[in-house]
Structure 1
Amino acid sequence: MTTFTIKWKVKENEAGLLREFLRLHKNISKSALADIKFTGGELLVNGVPSTVRKSVNTGDEVEVRFPPEEISSHMAPIPMLLDILYEDEHLLFVNKPAGIPTIPSRYQQNGSLAQGVLSYYEQEGIQSTFHAVNRLDKDTSGLVMIAKHRFAHSLLSQQQKKKAIKRTYLAGVEGRFESLSGTVDASIGRNPDSLVERMVTDQGQKAITHFKVLKELAGNSLVSLQLETGRTHQIRVHMAHIGHPLLGDDLYGGPVDLIFRQALHSWQVSFYHPLEGKMMNVEAPLPQDLQQLFGDVAEQ
């Protein structure tokens, strides 16, 4: 089985204790170093097994062999045809179809994207569990960003906290807009009368959504959306709040005669690849049901 190994050359300003090199310059957490030490990983300097107290000098090669990861017992691998949009040894981008949950739930314990990815890992000999950087509702289609090991997940989670990962969604919504772009700034909280529904409320958490109209057809609109916050059902709640509920979204008042799920698609993501050292953009094409409503789209 394949476990993950990363190598670095020590730069002049990075010389010192191996512990400081890894924690300060490579963002490996204290808990991750403990995992490496106690659960089967290894640290090497110029090919020699070393402890974190080893001194490293300019030009030394540091190799980190991460320990194998255990697959969660409640997520048995299930073969699934995956639409893989991008893959390297650290990251996997999958275009999730509508109707499949990202992870198992008490309502649907089998058939999740996570189980399909674990089956793919099994076929490829990758010793890792499922690390989703973002999750989509069952009936939302599009990009799911997956880290193939804990370290990549940690680095991307840090980017998320700094709002450095830019995600763009597409939504088909009811009606036409007076303004072709705008921002919804309205706090979101639970609806006390529902187990799943959210609502705009002053007692909720701050939520900000930016939108831009791309197309208007047959009295409906296709909009691109970017989130400053990541509240549950944020796009669905905010669009309904301004009088433009998502097509197919009967939970928030959207019409259901044109599409049989909420018309929401995770379209694009741009981010800095922390292990390849480059900016990246990945895009998931519009699914067939939204193409039938609005045709192909390219942001203008």
Structure 2
Amino acid sequence: MTSFQYTVPTDGLTIEHLLREQWEAGKKTVHFMRMSKSVTGVDGEPVEWKFPQKAGTELTFTVPDAHSTYTPEKMNLKVIFEDEHILVVFKPAGIATHPNDSNQTGTLMNYVMAYVKENGGEYAEHIHRLDQGTAGVILIAKHPIAKTLFDRMIERNEIVRKYQAETDGLMKRPKGTINLPIGKDRHQPSKRLVSISGQSAVTHFRVLERKTDTTIVEAELETGRTHQIRVHLAHLGHPVVGDVLYDGSRTKDGYFRLNATALSFTHPLTGEQLNIEQ
């Protein structure tokens, strides 16, 4: 079980409308919460689901089956932002975002799970992911309702994700938008390419600095396809430095120069506008 606090934002809102219509919580979750009377007021008493609440009313929601199965693994974790709904953490280059099977360790989510458990929690799920070679900020949900809300925000492009990349060559265009679909490379499963039969993909970019033979670029995702920035920049003839999969020049440490630098969004559970930077 996981509990969180919520302040009713407007007069007349009912628990049923909030869960079913606004948050679109899963049917199983909604049924359990109603049957177990797991929405309570400040006095600890269950709240009537169809009773209109007043703005400013403090409620406690207790969510069922709120636990994750990642094996906790202790590691220094850089936490950039945290409240009772979400974490924003820094992922170093060279580690995977999450395990590919239940026995895998050494991933960011193993470290996040250890941190969450140390602080009394049982649940942590990533909202998006970064490639193993990419460093930067990742958003984590701390309970299933937050997971549902933020997943929907990602689908609707309501979370602005900014990246900074160092690319090979001197990019002439000061800014632009790359609107080219991305699909799988049938000859190399781990690779993606621009393909008319692929999924739509949109990347906005602008040049921050031109060096001797490389360019520093800020990129903003409108969609979130696998390897999207890497594929789009390589297609322009300016692959990310170190990204040998897409013909980028090699680096001494073997990592490519791509960092997720910032997240911006309106918090769906607090209404706060957040601009979180690495």
Question: Normalised by the size of structure 1, how large is the TM-score?
Answer: 0.84
Q: Does 1:126 align with 2:125?
A: no
The match for 1:66 among 57, 63, 69 is 63
Pair 36,223 (structure 1): closer, same or farther in 2 beyond 3 Å: same
Residue 240 to residue 49, structure 1, CA distance change in 2 (3 Å) = same
**8 Å Cα contact 2:179/2:202 also seen in 1:** yes
Aligned to 2:129: 135
2:12 aligns with: 13
Cα distance in 2 for partners of 1:215, 1:35 equals 54
Q: Determine the C-alpha separation between the residues in 1 that align with 2:214 and 2:275.
A: 28
CA 1:186 to 1:57, structure 2 compared with 1: closer, same or farther past 3 Å?
Answer: closer
Residue in 2 aligned with 1:36? 33
**1:87-109 deviation line (CA, Å, top 9, x unaligned):** 11111111110011110125x92
Q: What is aligned with 1:291?
A: none
Q: Which residue number in structure 2 is paired with residue 55 of structure 1?
A: 51
Equivalent residue letter for 1:43: V
Q: 3-state SS of the aligned residue for 2:158?
A: coil
* Contact map agreement 1:143 1:266 (CA 8 A) in 2: yes
Once the two structures are superposed, the pairs formed by residues 83-94 of structure 1 within 5 Å of their partners are: 83-94=78-89
Q: Which moved more, 1:252-261 or 1:175-184?
A: 252-261
2:219 aligned residue (225, 232, 255): 225
Tell me: CA distance 1:127–1:68, structure 2 relative to 1, closer, same or farther (3 Å). Answer: farther
Distance 1:121 1:102 in 2: 16
Deviations 1:146-178 (A, max 9, x none): 111111111112222221110100111000112
Is 1:185 the counterpart of 2:184? The answer is no
Q: Is the 8 A contact 1:6 1:65 kept in 2?
A: no
Distance change >3 Å, CA 231–CA 69, structure 1 → 2: same
Matching residue of 1:236: 230
Q: Cα deviations across residues 75-120 of structure 1 (Å, max 9, x unaligned)?
A: 21110110111111111111110011110125x9210010001111
Question: Do the aligned partners of residues 68 and 169 (structure 1) sit closer, same or farther apart at CA in structure 2, a change above 3 Å counting?
Answer: same
- 1:272/1:278 contact within 8 Å kept: yes
Tell me if 1:103 matches 2:102. Answer: no
Per-residue CA shift, 1:40-85, capped at 9, x if unaligned? 7712356422564x5345466543222352322xx21110110111
Alignment of 1:237-252 (within 5 A): 237-252=231-246
Give the direction of change, closer, same or farther, for the CA distance of 1:134–1:192 in structure 2 (3 Å limit): same
Q: Percent identity?
A: 34
3-state DSSP class of the match of 1:12? coil
Taking a change above 3 Å as real, the CA distance of residues 50 and 57 of structure 1, as seen in their structure-2 partners, is closer
**Number of equivalent positions:** 276
CA distance, structure 2, for counterparts of residue 118 and residue 42 of structure 1: 25
- TM-score, normalised to structure 2, is 0.90
- The alignment yields a C-alpha RMSD, in angstroms, of 2.4
Q: What secondary structure does 2:89 align onto? A: strand
SS of residue paired to 2:109:
helix
Shift in Å at residue 228 of structure 1? Answer: 1.5
Contact 1:68 1:127 in 2 (8 A): no
Letter in 2 for 1:214: L
Range 115-124 or range 258-267, more displaced: 258-267
Q: Unpaired runs of 5+ in structure 1?
A: 285-300
